[in-house]
Structure 1
Amino acid sequence: MLLATAVLVSAAWLAPVKADASAQAVKLPETRFASTVSGHGFDAPPGFADAVPARNQAHPEAKAVGEQVCTACHAKENDNFAHTAHALGMQVALAANPATATCEACHGPGSVHAANPTAKGSIIAFTHEGGTPVANQTESCLGCHSGGPRDVWLGSIHQRNDLSCSDCHNPMQKFSAEGLTAKQSVSETCATCHKDIRQQFNRRSHMPLPEGQISCVDCHNPHGTLNATLLKTDTVNETCYQCHAEKRGPFLFEHAPVRESCLNCHQVHGSNQHALLVAPVPMLCQQCHSHTRHPNDLQTELSLGNGMTPDERLMGRGCITCHAQVHGSNHPSGPRLHK
């Protein structure tokens, strides 16, 4: 009897059970985007779908009027804007959610501006003459573009000099391939203010920026860093080591001025001397090594081959003819940086 009962229980346990679909169904949260009910996220709402109008500090009472009111007057601007990354994202978001702010997501509510278009400050204008404080302009941009490279924008040299995002970027028209910069490239955009630095790249020895192999942002973060020169790293040397790793060391025999800063010997952007040097060898070396050991004669142009007192120590490669490992040596016999 007990055995028969056990067999029946086992058969009941192993027999397939009809699933109750209504009991097992998982109720997904309600959403206004029907395509997300699948839960897979392939058709999730685009990033601009929940965009709201930016805050215009001059007119907090202004109300949103919608994209059609803006484009009724600004048809030309709308045509130029249509090819930009912002426009493409906003149009997709608007199709997904008709309540999404488009123009007003950056420029703020447009009711006051629509009533009096000539009044300065009635809308967030991204120019220095538009009546909107620069702080309000950058606040509108940082509403989406905060964090990352812009973590230390506040207090940076560009922010302290009252630069606006629109001084370097033009989100209303596609001038560049990336970054929506105001000029065709990042380097050209930087050169609008830093003309003296751009001129240094025209010297005989220069970093390969004019050739397009590097750009300003390879070394600098224009949105702010913790140092005065906007370097991406903590020091000049760390920045240089990003490309010149062989100069990093550590070396058995260090060269003190090299370890202190590359700028002791090199012009970072361009120089009329060999290898970006600040002065020709051996004059550069004798700024430190003067009247000690064998270089007891101060080398000048008179010691050149066509001078009054030619000296072999000034010819060829100068000091580095013998002291070839000027950045440091790992050779046991290299305390004088010969090997």
Structure 2
Amino acid sequence: MLLAAAVLVYAAWLAPTPADASAQAVKLPETRFASSLSGHGFDAPPGFADALPARNPAHPEAKAVSEQVCSACHTQESDNFAHTVHALGMQVALAANPATATCEACHGPGSAHAANPTAKGSIIAFTHDGGTPVAAQTEGCLGCHSGGPRDAWLGSIHQRNDLSCSDCHNPMQAFSAEGLTTKQSVSETCATCHKDIRQQFNRRSHMPLPEGQISCVDCHNPHGTLNATLLKTDTVNETCYQCHAEKRGPFLFEHAPVRESCLNCHQVHGSNQHALLVAPIPMLCQQCHSHTRHPNDLMTELSLGTGGAPDERLMGRGCVTCHAQVHGSNHPSGPRLHK
């Protein structure tokens, strides 16, 4: 009895669908993307599908053309752009909505440029000599890339120095593995301008940036912060503590220069002294602790092993031989940072 019922149910499931069954099927919302969503069940268009042509302040009367018109002349640029993350997103959006702006989403309507390709400013050009103000260039990029790390771009040191997004990024070609930077890495891109800082990493003691273990953006936010040096935290010490958490404390006995700023003793990018120090020990310590308590004789180059009056205190570990806990101590017997 049960077996017969099961056979009847299975046969009904295999039976052909009636011709009017489509009227009873669940319909997707009536949107211009319904046809592209029917096979996937998604309820939202791809991210670029609502992209409109960017506003070109130099030619507000220009009309949108199409990607085919742009590619007819810019074949090399189209080939390079095809391998970038922007191109992949735009092609998906274009397949969902043929009215999506692709090239013109960044460069603005192309009719004026197509009519007179040599006229500067007829299209939004992401160069300093293309006729488009830097403010208009960054406005186009921030139209999508606003918020988050770029919250403080306006008023930042890079913005005040008239830098454009395209000075560091090249969305038209995949030069780097991430960030679409103009060089292969973030650090190489920063070194384009900050050559003096990059040279400091070649000193004997340096942060492991040349080895690829860190990059400039581990400490700095090039898109702007609330401090002058573009640090990602509020202070130098907070930035250092992200890696050197053991130096944070709190300590029962603090060393005042350490609490004030790590830069009092360390050169953050690179130094020819041990442990990124700004001067060798004990010369560094005697900048504050000179002729007080013991020893009260000022150490100079004459006290070095090659000097006229060699001193074993200078040729050894110096002050830190005894005062080992220079960053702070929690030992009950540590007011002199001995333990």
- Scaled by the length of structure 2, what TM-score is found? 0.91
Q: CA deviation at 1:295?
A: 2.6
Question: How far apart in 1 are the matches of 2:305 and 2:177?
Answer: 52
Q: 1:22 to 1:106 in 2, by over 3 A?
A: closer
Q: 1:19 to 1:232 in 2, by over 3 A?
A: farther
Question: How far apart in 2 are the matches of 1:104 and 1:3?
Answer: 65
159-168 vs 37-46, greater mean Cα deviation: 37-46
| Residue pair 2:53, 2:109 contacting (<8 A) in 1 also | yes
87-96 vs 16-25, greater mean Cα deviation: 16-25
Q: Could you say what the CA RMSD is over the residues aligned between the two structures, in angstroms?
A: 5.3
Q: CA deviation at 1:37?
A: 6.2
277-286 vs 11-20, greater mean Cα deviation: 11-20
Aligned-partner SS, 2:11: helix
Q: 1:246 to 1:3 in 2, by over 3 A?
A: closer
CA displacement, residues 274-298 of structure 1 (integer Å, 9 cap, x when unaligned) = 0000000000000000010003111
Gaps in structure 1 of 5+ consecutive residues:
none
Gaps in structure 2 of 5+ consecutive residues:
none
Of all paired residues, the percent bearing the same amino acid is 92
Q: 1:56 to 1:5 in 2, by over 3 A?
A: closer
Q: CA deviation at 1:7?
A: 34
Q: CA deviation at 1:33?
A: 1.6
CA displacement, residues 197-245 of structure 1 (integer Å, 9 cap, x when unaligned) = 0000000000000000000000000000000000000000000000000
Q: 1:29 to 1:289 in 2, by over 3 A?
A: same
| Residue pair 2:36, 2:96 contacting (<8 A) in 1 also | no
1:232 matched to which residue of 2? 232
| Residue pair 2:54, 2:107 contacting (<8 A) in 1 also | yes
Q: CA deviation at 1:45?
A: 1.7
Q: CA deviation at 1:2?
A: 37
Q: 1:248 to 1:59 in 2, by over 3 A?
A: same
Q: CA deviation at 1:20?
A: 15
Q: 1:13 to 1:221 in 2, by over 3 A?
A: closer
CA displacement, residues 113-139 of structure 1 (integer Å, 9 cap, x when unaligned) = 000000000000000000000000000
CA displacement, residues 282-330 of structure 1 (integer Å, 9 cap, x when unaligned) = 0000000001000311101211234322222212110000000000001
Q: 1:329 to 1:21 in 2, by over 3 A?
A: farther
> Which of structure 1's runs of 4+ aligned residues deviate more than 4 A?
1-28, 35-41
| Residue pair 1:322, 1:338 contacting (<8 A) in 2 also | yes
CA displacement, residues 132-153 of structure 1 (integer Å, 9 cap, x when unaligned) = 0000000000111011110110
| Residue pair 2:257, 2:264 contacting (<8 A) in 1 also | yes
Q: 1:270 to 1:9 in 2, by over 3 A?
A: closer
271-280 vs 21-30, greater mean Cα deviation: 21-30
Q: 1:22 to 1:12 in 2, by over 3 A?
A: closer
- Scaled by the length of structure 1, what TM-score is found? 0.91
| Residue pair 1:207, 1:269 contacting (<8 A) in 2 also | yes
| Residue pair 1:36, 1:44 contacting (<8 A) in 2 also | no
CA displacement, residues 74-120 of structure 1 (integer Å, 9 cap, x when unaligned) = 01110111101111111111011000000000000000000000000
| Residue pair 2:28, 2:34 contacting (<8 A) in 1 also | no
Q: 1:78 to 1:296 in 2, by over 3 A?
A: same
79-88 vs 22-31, greater mean Cα deviation: 22-31
CA displacement, residues 6-50 of structure 1 (integer Å, 9 cap, x when unaligned) = 999999999999999999987753111225766985474210101
Q: 1:309 to 1:8 in 2, by over 3 A?
A: closer
Aligned-partner SS, 2:12: helix
